[in-house]
Amino acid sequence: MTMVNMLEAKTQLSKLVEAVESGAEAEIIIARNGKPAARIVPIVEMRQPIQFGLAEGKYDPIDWDDWDRQSVEIAKIMAEGEIFPPANGDDDASAA
């Protein structure tokens, strides 16, 4: 931590700011009459807030009835289907 007096801060302000911006100094304290009065620190960039509604109108709305129907079909396939396909050698992958 570097501490400078008010007069030095006035005459060297751009150098002090550059030191903080470049990371050479994490912070610089400006003192008045030997007591800390202010601090120069780098500005931390804020992330852009999430913008809701960016996709509005670009996609068809969800058909929840169809969604439920597909869920039932998938559950039926999972419950009734075979875990592994038959190993009879008739598939195209074995011919390669």
Q: pLDDT at residue 1 above 60?
A: yes
Q: In angstroms, rounded to a whole number, what is the distance separating the alpha carbons of residues 33 and 56?
A: 59
How many CA atoms within 13 Å lie on the side-chain side of 54?
4
CATH code of the domain containing 29: 3.40.1620
Contacts of 34 (CB under 8 A, 6+ apart): 5
Report if residue 88 sits inside a domain.
no
Q: In angstroms, rounded to a whole number, what is the distance separating the alpha carbons of residues 30 and 6?
A: 6
Give this prediction's pTM: 0.48
Q: Tell me which of 5-9, 34-38, 82-86 is least confident.
A: 82-86
Contact call for residues 29 and 1 (beta carbons, < 8 A): yes
Q: pLDDT at residue 48 above 60?
A: yes
Q: pLDDT at residue 75 above 80?
A: yes
Task: Determine the 3-state secondary structure of 4 from DSSP.
Answer: strand
Better pLDDT: 15 or 49: 15
Q: pLDDT at residue 37 above 80?
A: yes
Q: What is the model's pLDDT at position 79?
A: 85
Report if residue 50 sits inside a domain.
no
Report if residue 74 sits inside a domain.
no
> To the nearest whole number, what is the mean pLDDT of the chain?
86
Residue 6: which domain range?
2-40
Report if residue 14 sits inside a domain.
yes
